Amino acid sequence: MNTEKLDCLRQKIRCNLSADRYEHTLGVERAVVFIGERILPHKLYELRVAALLHDITKEMPYADQKHFLATEGVQLTCDDVMSEKTLHQLSGAKMAEKSFSDYITPEIIHAISCHSTGCADMSVFDEILYLADYVEDTRRHESCIALRNRLLDELKKSSAEDYVQVLHKICLESINQTIEHLIQKGGFVHSNSFAARAFLVEKLNNGSRE
């Protein structure tokens, strides 16, 4: 683990984020380590980098994100445009690739690019970042606290070989809650969230049949 490199990355992102966003980002870093130690222990450095960079453009105005993505030649789908709050996953992935090339790998870029909506064929690495973003310990919303406790409970009562199934299960619950919340308030749900949901349901059903 390159501790100095991570310290340097924290200093760099601190200049780009508000105090609250920086605290959230450090919370996500702690959460990816907590989950990653159990499920992907050989990827802790990459998970930390993904956590530190995941919201790097979250505070950039929407119009500026769109402009940045257009300048970089990134084609947006109708869903990307409709889902304003999740556009930062695409602009963040592109910014990470462009401005933090010493740190990133394709796996990190992919995880950042779907950390907000999820996507079909999510990798375990993607799921860890997605879930860590939802359950990190500075989140105070009751649904986040409840899911954090569910994750802790499920891990406690499971054996190590079942940890990946626990990840799929709690990640699915997180996606369900996000979709339900958006529907309740009449918001737009990105099709990638439905695709992620279908993917995880299938994974869980296959897992339980194995």
CB atoms within 10 A of CB 153: 12
CB atoms within 10 A of CB 205: 10
Q: How far is the CB of 135 from Fe ion (least distance, A)?
A: 11
Q: How far apart are CA 104 and CA 33, in angstroms?
A: 17
Residue selected from 80, 97, 126, 133 as contacting Fe ion according to rule CB under 5 A: 133
- Phi-psi region at 120: left, alpha or beta (left = phi > 0; alpha = psi -120 to 50): beta
CA separation, residue 131 to residues 50, 61, 125 (Å): 13, 25, 10
**Span interacting with Fe ion, options 3-11, 96-104, 129-137, 199-207, rule CB under 5 A:** 129-137
Nearer to Fe ion, 181 or 205 (CB): 181
**Span interacting with Fe ion, options 110-118, 151-159, 164-172, 194-202, rule CB under 5 A:** 110-118
**Span interacting with Fe ion, options 32-40, 48-56, 124-132, 160-168, rule CB under 5 A:** 48-56
Q: How far is the CB of 24 from Fe ion (least distance, A)?
A: 6
Q: How far is the CB of 58 from Fe ion (least distance, A)?
A: 5
Environment class of residue 138 by beta-carbon count within 10 Å: exposed (0-12), middle (13-18) or buried (19+)? Answer: middle
**Span interacting with Fe ion, options 106-114, 127-135, 170-178, 186-194, rule CB under 5 A:** 127-135
| 126 near Fe ion, rule: CB under 5 A | no
Residue by residue, DSSP assigns 54-77 as TTTTTTS-HHHHHHHHHHTTPPPP
Show the tokens assigned to 98.
Answer: 């462009």
Q: Footprint of Fe ion on residues 147-166 (CB under 5 A)?
A: none
Residue selected from 55, 80, 126, 173 as contacting Fe ion according to rule CB under 5 A: 55
Binding residues for Fe ion, per CB under 5 A? 55, 116, 133
